[in-house]
Amino acid sequence: MQNLYIQLFSIHGLVRGTNVEMGRNADTGGQVKYVLELARALGEREEVRKVDLFTRLIREKTFSTAYSRPIEKLSNKTRIIRIQCGGGKYIRKELLWPHLDEYIDRVLKFIKDENDIPDIIHGHYADAGYVGKELATLLGAPLVFTGHSLGRIKKQRLLEDGLKEEEIEKQYHIEQRIHAEEEILGMADKIIASTHQEVEEQYAFYESSPSTDFQVIPPGIDLSRFFPFFDETFTDIEAVEERDNIKQAQFYMQKELERFLSNPEKPFILALSRPDRNKNITGLISAYGMDKELQAISNLAVFAGIRKDITNKDENERQVLTELLLLMDKYDLYGKLAIPKRHDFEYEVPELYRMAARSQGVFVNPSFNENFGLTLIEAAASGLPIVATDDGGPQDIIHNCQNGILVDVTNHEAIASALKKILINAELWKEYSQNGVQYARSHYSWQTHCRQYLDQAQNLPLQIQAEEQPPDRGTVGKRLTKLKKLFITDIDDTLIGNDEALNELLRLIEDNRDRIGFGVATGRDIDSVIEVIEAYNLSHPDIIISSVGTEIYYGPKLLPDKGWRTHISARWDRSGIKTILDGLKFLSPQEERAQRKYKLSYYIENPEENLAHIHYLLTRNRLRYNIIYSGGRFLDILPYKASKGKAVRYLHYKWNVPLSNILVSGDSGNDEEMLRGELLGVVVGNYSPELDQLRGQRHIYFAKKTHAAGILEGFKQYAFDSEN
Ligand code: GLC
Ligand code: MG
């Protein structure tokens, strides 16, 4: 296995290659770090040709311009690709859902521009998992997924916290997330989890879980940053500047601790986490506050994120931080408890672990639940023994590293006595410290992770020799990203009606299939399109635009274009329109199958007089709509953003085919919009009178012959099947 192109997706939060703003907001934390390090490490493997980490482009004053750069190079083979969706403003992850289909469209465009199809698509978290799933379906690439955390577990926890179902939904849009996760699990070729507990107790809550292929591969840590405390020579570090940064970090952190502590030379207990209720910082402070002996032998340093003014924090964080201050006062921990307001992650955090280790201290993670526990491994690698919650990730870590004690974190005495056990026993301290340094390196390096990752990749349905594959393998998206031209035609009275000419046209399409895509655009609903395809033996179209442009499908598997659906749904009040029109005498509803979610269809009498009245009624009621009148009697009401013409333009944008490379043919009013403009329009000889007004327009050719013979004439006129 060689030459892999891997696309990683991690959409939310603030992602950049240097000075990651960890903890700046709730979406910029462990996952961001994980994907950046994974991207870099994969890019170092020789089996890998290219790694792109896709995230969201953010262009907003209060954020660094780094987040608005479309491409950031991380190394020779690795890049961050930023794609905009839902505008330029920062959007928290729970509110990204309505914009993800736009994201997908723009990624497709990017892929087409680069002319490079990924071999593996790897989504991180439900949002990017959704994007990955859609792209993998379109491109026929295997899908890998890493949840990082899961909606069902989160919901359950919030319910336990006493939140009501409606509140949870309103704030977190959790049902959409859970639904997406189910679908992702149902389709992913591989799920990469960090711990066994994640698989057994978290993914297990999902219905699609039993049929899913899980692989536990713990993440690595950046060992060049988390080197052991005794390594005074900084073995891995050559640059002088780097050493200076580390020394400076040490100086600042020391000063910071001295601000709080009366006896800063004592061993200190270090805790490091966001001020989230689940992290149970207050439990730790109570444990320390209630134990005089523990206070006598050690200090406690709690780094709970970055804060300027607690009153400006969101409610959850504000509560935790306030409680923390109250506990400090209650147990009178002045001079013993340090609660610094800031720290950076680049140099100060790694240095903090080493400082704690040099003081013969302990790292503690008192979280109620810990999915993974990255900080525990960082502490281990630095040579700092740990005390951690008896849950999930920590269980695996202590099993692998033999460097500390698991405790029931709801029990204050248990926390205190585990800490004391290590602090008092120098032999035990040393054993834990050495084990951590050694085993963190063998179990939790990104090199180890990538080796296992690429081993797993071998079992994926990779399609590296894509060129040699037949087009119809569910990889219609891949095909579309390669096509230079599109031919899109109406069906009734345009494509069909003259069998002999139709067969000639179909042969022409077949002969040019590697360059020219074939699509139909029709008023028929999708089922009746399928009937025509079968009845006339049409080679399966790449694209079907059905129900007068309100639905788009791809390939023989009829993959729906969800981006289009989302796009046209804007301000569509179907029942509002129906109520007004159903009462009109000159309209009679078409049969049931003609009525679609985004299409209301009638037969109209005396259109010349009555169309204006319909406009009047709908406009007066402030309804948004698009009216399509055709064939002398058909009337379709569509969302204002929908029509066959708009659908064709959307395809031009999405698949990045220039308008002047799209040939469109039609015969009646519902074809009018798609014939206009820069596209190459062909009106067949047997057209309906409503198209007469197009005569004389640029780029519209009125053929003399009828039906498919007229289309063939148009092909000739534009030399459409020529090689350029
Ligand atoms: C097709 C559809 C019909 C629509 C007409 C014109 O005949 O079945 O519902 O009104 O096209 O667009
Ligand atoms: Mg027609």
| Residue nearest atom 4 in ligand 1 by C-alpha distance | 523
Number of domains within the chain: 4
Domain end, chosen from 158, 182, 216, is at: 216
CA of 565 to the centre of ligand 1 (A): 19
Predicted local distance difference test score (pLDDT) of residue 238: 59
At 287, which CATH number?
A: 3.40.50.2000
Inter-residue contact 707 to 493 (CB < 8 Å): yes
The finding on whether 524 has its CB within 6 A of some atom of ligand 1 is yes
Q: Report if residue 454 sits inside a domain.
A: no
Residues 52 and 112 in one domain: yes
Residues 18 and 40 in one domain: yes
Q: Which domain holds residue 589?
A: 571-640
Ligand nearest to the Cα of 494, by number: 2
Residues 382 and 507 in one domain: no
Task: Point out the ligand 1 atom lying closest to the alpha carbon of residue 634.
Answer: 10
Inter-residue contact 387 to 363 (CB < 8 Å): yes
Predicted local distance difference test score (pLDDT) of residue 233: 62
The interaxial angle of helices 374-382 and 426-443, nearest 10 deg, is: 110
**What's the CA gap between 421 and 432, in Å, rounded?**
12
CA of 548 to the centre of ligand 1 (A): 7
At 632, which CATH number?
A: 3.90.1070.10
Q: Report if residue 284 sits inside a domain.
A: yes
Inter-residue contact 543 to 529 (CB < 8 Å): no
Predicted local distance difference test score (pLDDT) of residue 101: 85
- Among the listed residues 450, 410, 443, 492, the one whose alpha carbon sits nearest the alpha carbon of residue 669: 492
Predicted local distance difference test score (pLDDT) of residue 146: 97
- Site to probe by mutation for ligand 1, drawn from 528, 548, 592, 633 as the one with most ligand atoms within 8 Å of Cβ, is 548
Token digits for 242?
Answer: 């780097």
Mean pLDDT, residues 336-343 taken together? 91
Domain end, chosen from 640, 664, 683, is at: 640
- Phi, psi dihedral angles at 346 (to 5 degrees): -65, -55
| Residue nearest atom 8 in ligand 1 by C-alpha distance | 524
Q: How confident is the model at residue 632 (pLDDT cuts 50, 70, 90)?
A: confident
Torsion of CA 147, 151, 157, 158, to 10 degrees: 140
CA of 550 to the centre of ligand 2 (A): 16
**What's the CA gap between 416 and 420, in Å, rounded?**
6
Helix ranges, 359-458 (H)? 374-382, 392-401, 412-424, 426-443, 446-457
Task: Point out the ligand 1 atom lying closest to the alpha carbon of residue 528.
Answer: 8
Predicted local distance difference test score (pLDDT) of residue 263: 96
Token digits for 284?
Answer: 């730790």
The finding on whether 630 has its CB within 6 A of some atom of ligand 1 is yes
| Residue nearest atom 5 in ligand 1 by C-alpha distance | 523
- Asked whether the predicted pLDDT for residue 470 surpasses 60, the reply is no
Residues 413 and 430 in one domain: yes
**What's the CA gap between 671 and 663, in Å, rounded?**
13
CA of 661 to the centre of ligand 1 (A): 27
At 504, which CATH number?
A: 3.40.50.1000
The finding on whether 636 has its CB within 6 A of some atom of ligand 1 is yes
The finding on whether 548 has its CB within 6 A of some atom of ligand 1 is yes
- Phi, psi dihedral angles at 384 (to 5 degrees): -105, 115
Residues 16 and 138 in one domain: yes
Residues 507 and 622 in one domain: no
Q: Report if residue 575 sits inside a domain.
A: yes
Domain end, chosen from 640, 656, 677, is at: 640
pLDDT digit string, tens, across residues 181-200:
999 998 899 999 988 888 88
CA of 110 to the centre of ligand 2 (A): 34
Predicted local distance difference test score (pLDDT) of residue 471: 41
Residues 317 and 432 in one domain: yes
Q: Report if residue 51 sits inside a domain.
A: yes
Q: Report if residue 561 sits inside a domain.
A: yes
pLDDT digit string, tens, across residues 61-105:
999 999 999 999 999 999 999 999 999 999 999 999 989 988 998
Predicted local distance difference test score (pLDDT) of residue 239: 64
Residues 15 and 98 in one domain: yes
Mean pLDDT, residues 476-482 taken together? 85
pLDDT digit string, tens, across residues 700-720:
999 999 999 999 999 999 999
Helix ranges, 458-539 (H)? 476-482, 499-511, 526-535
pLDDT digit string, tens, across residues 206-265:
988 888 889 999 888 888 889 999 876 655 555 677 788 888 999 999 999 999 999 999
Q: Report if residue 578 sits inside a domain.
A: yes
Token digits for 169?
Answer: 């939904």
Q: Report if residue 351 sits inside a domain.
A: yes
Mean pLDDT, residues 587-598 taken together? 96
Q: How confident is the model at residue 467 (pLDDT cuts 50, 70, 90)?
A: very low
Residues 605 and 681 in one domain: no
Predicted local distance difference test score (pLDDT) of residue 317: 87
Residues 329 and 398 in one domain: yes
**DSSP SS3 for 670:** helix
The finding on whether 523 has its CB within 6 A of some atom of ligand 1 is yes
Residues 50 and 186 in one domain: yes
Residues 69 and 204 in one domain: yes
pLDDT digit string, tens, across residues 272-327:
988 888 899 999 999 999 999 999 999 999 998 888 888 888 888 899 999 999 99
Q: What is the mean pLDDT of the chain?
A: 91
Predicted local distance difference test score (pLDDT) of residue 627: 93
Q: Report if residue 528 sits inside a domain.
A: yes
Predicted local distance difference test score (pLDDT) of residue 232: 65
